[in-house]
Structure 1
Amino acid sequence: MSVNITFLGGAGTVTGSKYLVRHGAESLLVDCGLFQGYKPLRLRNWTRLPVAPNQIDAVVLTHAHLDHSGYLPLLVREGFAGHVHATSGTRDLCRILLPDSGHIQEEDAAFANRHGFSKHAPALPLYTRQDALDCLPRIKAVDFGKTFQPIPGWRVTFSTAGHILGAASVLLEVAGRRILFSGDLGRTDDLIMNPPAKAPAANTVLIESTYGDREHPKEDVLAELAPALQKLAKRGGVAVIPVFAVGRAQALLHAIHQLKLRGELPTSLPVFLDSPMAVHTTHLFEAHQGEHRLSSKDTHALTHSATMVNSTDESRALASRHGPMVILSASGMATGGRVLHHLAHYAGNHRNMIILTGYQAPGTRGATIAGGAKSVRIHGHDVELQAEVVQLQSASAHADASQLLAWLRTMPQAPDQVYVTHGEWGASDEFRKRIKHELGWRAIMPEHGSTWPT
């Protein structure tokens, strides 16, 4: 019997990663992510999967970012009864991210209902915080390098992907086929994370292509961030930095702390981390010391170099403070969360600054801001953008095109097939061409909902 893969997400887009692997009557879902960005993509979250959740035998997660794990609460609520296998770092992060995701969706629905800007009456969350809490006991932790069987006869091994805490590439062995899922690959030169491990031999490879058409600049994030914050401090403005609560929040905290130690920023410049999720995640760096480059002293500094904002009252109180100050707040593409309130409050003042720190998926507010728009819609209102917009090119946690190719080159031998996934069409197609021309391998861009052999 053949083994095939159905691409239920992460095909033609950087979000919603879900890869359904079938062999006979058995099926395994690799990643279980939410769609984000353009409304037609977000609407896919509300559409039932073409396979009943109770017909999926197991789930394996590459990492905890919501575009890879955020659909889990819904999958469980709709009937999935198996185990979810992940590294301990991914499990720990899911315990933070998934309930927070449910809470934010409940808050956004309630806000829409109070202010009447939703077309639905009433507006409903995709899932609730309780749905997320209900799915967490299904997540079982497995160590890097340890081979396990999510389904009898199916073998899976995690290797380090370097993207965020717990991030893994997945080698699946079933029916004599070896299928390698890259997951989101980190950079070899990341400020805080260890580099990805070498790729093992495989017949079929699914590789992400978020930056498949781009190269990162040679300067590091400290060199890029310093002049922006120096300018901000001199003019007494407020920098609002939308950050991913996992990874980029910690990298930016570390970068700002290092710039203060070097004397390139005033030590008195107030920094606030306004995201309970990011605050909790920052403490996890101490529990997973071996997965990143930071020393014990560095990880201690992460939790002491900024004011940690937990309550909504503390968050609201920031609006009464005067600059200069720096506010880091989730989410990284400004799709929801507390950062929206800060943007609404500060974006209209030319003394202030909006600093974007990573990839901004098309259709997100972050992409709208990065594109030079004069206004952005927040909570049903158009907010004028007068603040200076700075997009850091060196702050991404994703490998660039050359680093992705270098990872593929570490494979002991050429695979039979490469599927280019998790990228916008232009980025994926450009990377597909490089695989074909520079490596001489067969590479395909699968379409959403399509099924291909391994």
Structure 2
Amino acid sequence: MLNLTSLGGAGTVTGSKHLLVHDGKRILIDCGLFQGLKNLRELNWAPLPIKPSSIDAVVLTHAHLDHSGYLPKLVKDGFRGNIFATDATRDVAELILKDSGHLQEKDAEYANRKGFSKHKPAMPLYGLRDAERALERFLSVPFGKPVQLPGGATLMFRHAGHILGAATADIHWGGKRIVFSGDLGRYGDPMMHDPASVSEADYIVIESTYGNRIHEQGDPTEMLGSVIERTVQRGGSVVIPAFAVGRAQSLLYHLWKLKSSGRLSTIPIYLDSPMAISATELLHAHRNDHRLSPEDCDTVCGIATYTRDVEASKEITAISFPKVVISASGMATGGRVLHHLKAFASDRKNTILFSGFQAAGTRGRAMLQGAREIKIHGKWIPVEAEVTDLPALSAHADSDELMRWLSGFRHAPTRIFIVHGEAEAAEALRVRIGKDLEWNATVPRQDQAFDL
């Protein structure tokens, strides 16, 4: 009997962890951190319902923190199996996991030094060395070629779009075929490949980040240009909290298109995120994972001024003339963007522009819902700047695109499980699948087990 349990990413858009069990062997698909609401973040500190040492392998669909960020903790607590991922996912995970470990150490140190943590002393969930130990367990898997997993399972990765290395995971085990979507990207994205079709599955596990929404139609380059130009006209700067992997590179592409057309010619652009800079450089190393030609890759990557060190980052704040600042993290949960928000959010001339999904409980969601002040490093910061978002820039498939990917299956699966979405989004997608495809769809609860 093959059994499926979602240990995370069930009823929420963070913390994805989906466990397959067969004949005493355990394979975990994704191993993400919970983010956003405090009650979710606290789950990162709770022990898993199974011992990490009992897990035989991890299959990683892509490297974003909500899918990979718990791996160092898993290894710290006893996991000794291999982590199967694409080449690019392994390289991106190196950036993200090391950064996560480093930031957690620095945040704990800062909280202890400033005295604003309730914990005495504040401790990181894991550190840099834990991230390095997790990276030692990675095994690279090519797209489109089956590989053997422990317990007799077979895995095949296909392109999912979304970010470098992102894959859907097709697993044959115990006579069943179960396909995990991971995070699906957009169709017709100018940088990333379309999500590859899958024709057969007994069971499907699909994300539902935008299961209840259709992205705004129109030219995202034009939309971005309009926001920047109206901000510049009133003498302000645009701060863009951006995911260091995926969104930052896409923003550089659209800014390059604007500059190439003669717009924003005098407006300086800063990419203020060491991880985003390194991720941008990975575009060159994994040319087959995206659509850009070598020449376009060079020019896109050269459109911004890169600031790696802290002093250069501080100098951006001191510059009085209009500018565009791209900085992580994308939901304003941490990173250098917090310092830019402290500097720019209180001035109504400026704009805070969000370009990706904002989970419940994050500063990004709060600002988009109209919060007039946000708490950063223990202090309340007024929000007088224009706050807006551009869903057209999202790297996540919307409801129509999720249905388009599902239409590639030639036969109805026995069951489809809807995960990695907030309750309303997951339920909306369940209803739509039932109405349009007449498939048996379920939204799992956290830790709910299913016999397949």
- Tell me the equivalent position of 2:323: 325
Paired residue type of 1:56: I
- Tell me the equivalent position of 2:97: 98
- Tell me the equivalent position of 2:135: 136
C-alpha distance after superposition, 1:275-309 (max 9, x if no partner) = 00000000111111122121212210232110111
Tell whether 2:120 aligns with 1:149.
Answer: no
- TM-score under structure 2 length normalisation: 0.99
- Tell me the equivalent position of 1:79: 78
1:11-26, aligned counterparts within 5 Å?
11-26=10-25
Paired residue type of 2:446: H
Tell whether 2:45 aligns with 1:43.
Answer: no
1:116-195, aligned counterparts within 5 Å?
116-195=115-194
Paired residue type of 2:294: S
* In structure 2, distance between residues paired with 1:307 and 1:390: 24
- Indicate which of 350, 353, 367 corresponds to 1:352: 350
Tell whether 2:338 aligns with 1:363.
Answer: no
Paired residue type of 2:445: E
- Tell me the equivalent position of 1:421: 419
* In structure 1, distance between residues paired with 2:295 and 2:23: 52
* In structure 2, distance between residues paired with 1:327 and 1:442: 46
Which sits farther off after the overlay, 432-441 or 320-329?
320-329
* In structure 1, distance between residues paired with 2:199 and 2:81: 27
- Tell me the equivalent position of 2:216: 217
- Tell me the equivalent position of 1:205: 204
Which sits farther off after the overlay, 223-232 or 10-19?
223-232
Structure 2 residue matching 1:394: 3-state secondary structure: helix
* In structure 1, distance between residues paired with 2:320 and 2:99: 29
- Tell me the equivalent position of 1:250: 249
Tell whether 2:59 aligns with 1:55.
Answer: no
Structure 1 residue matching 2:391: 3-state secondary structure: coil
Which sits farther off after the overlay, 106-115 or 208-217?
106-115
Tell whether 2:26 aligns with 1:27.
Answer: yes
* In structure 1, distance between residues paired with 2:192 and 2:266: 28
Is 1:235–1:324's contact at 8 Å kept on the other side of the alignment?
no
C-alpha distance after superposition, 1:373-428 (max 9, x if no partner) = 11011111110001111211201101110110111110121100000000000000
Is 1:282–1:302's contact at 8 Å kept on the other side of the alignment?
no
Is 1:7–1:448's contact at 8 Å kept on the other side of the alignment?
yes
* In structure 2, distance between residues paired with 1:136 and 1:69: 11
How far is the alpha carbon of 1:372 from its aligned partner?
A: 0.9
Paired residue type of 2:17: K
- TM-score under structure 1 length normalisation: 0.98
* In structure 2, distance between residues paired with 1:31 and 1:40: 21
* In structure 2, distance between residues paired with 1:371 and 1:83: 42
Is 2:177–2:203's contact at 8 Å kept on the other side of the alignment?
yes
* In structure 2, distance between residues paired with 1:191 and 1:237: 29
* In structure 2, distance between residues paired with 1:107 and 1:219: 41
C-alpha distance after superposition, 1:292-351 (max 9, x if no partner) = 121212210232110111011111121211121111000000010000011011111111
* In structure 2, distance between residues paired with 1:295 and 1:58: 36
- Tell me the equivalent position of 2:273: 275
* In structure 2, distance between residues paired with 1:350 and 1:104: 30
C-alpha distance after superposition, 1:104-162 (max 9, x if no partner) = 11111111111111110011111111111121111111100110112141100001100
Could you list the structure 1 runs, at least 4 aligned residues long, displaced by more than 4 angstroms after superposition.
none
Paired residue type of 1:193: M
- Tell me the equivalent position of 2:336: 338
* In structure 2, distance between residues paired with 1:257 and 1:273: 13
* In structure 2, distance between residues paired with 1:217 and 1:168: 25
- Indicate which of 399, 407, 410 corresponds to 1:409: 407
- Indicate which of 382, 385, 392 corresponds to 1:384: 382
How far is the alpha carbon of 1:233 from its aligned partner?
A: 2.1
Paired residue type of 1:423: G
* In structure 2, distance between residues paired with 1:38 and 1:189: 33
Which sits farther off after the overlay, 126-135 or 33-42?
126-135
* In structure 2, distance between residues paired with 1:14 and 1:302: 30
- Tell me the equivalent position of 1:114: 113
Is 1:270–1:306's contact at 8 Å kept on the other side of the alignment?
yes
- Tell me the equivalent position of 1:232: 231
* In structure 2, distance between residues paired with 1:192 and 1:14: 24
Is 2:25–2:151's contact at 8 Å kept on the other side of the alignment?
no
* In structure 1, distance between residues paired with 2:333 and 2:7: 22
Structure 2 alignment gaps of length 5 or more: none
* In structure 1, distance between residues paired with 2:316 and 2:351: 16
Paired residue type of 2:213: R
- Indicate which of 427, 430, 433 corresponds to 2:431: 433
* In structure 2, distance between residues paired with 1:90 and 1:113: 34
Is 1:9–1:448's contact at 8 Å kept on the other side of the alignment?
yes
Percent identity of paired positions between Structure 1 and Structure 2 = 49
Is 2:354–2:364's contact at 8 Å kept on the other side of the alignment?
yes
Is 1:359–1:396's contact at 8 Å kept on the other side of the alignment?
yes
Over the aligned positions, Cα root-mean-square deviation in angstroms equals: 0.9
Structure 2 residue matching 1:90: 3-state secondary structure: helix
* In structure 2, distance between residues paired with 1:218 and 1:194: 19
Paired residue type of 1:164: I
- Tell me the equivalent position of 2:440: 442
Which sits farther off after the overlay, 15-24 or 187-196?
187-196
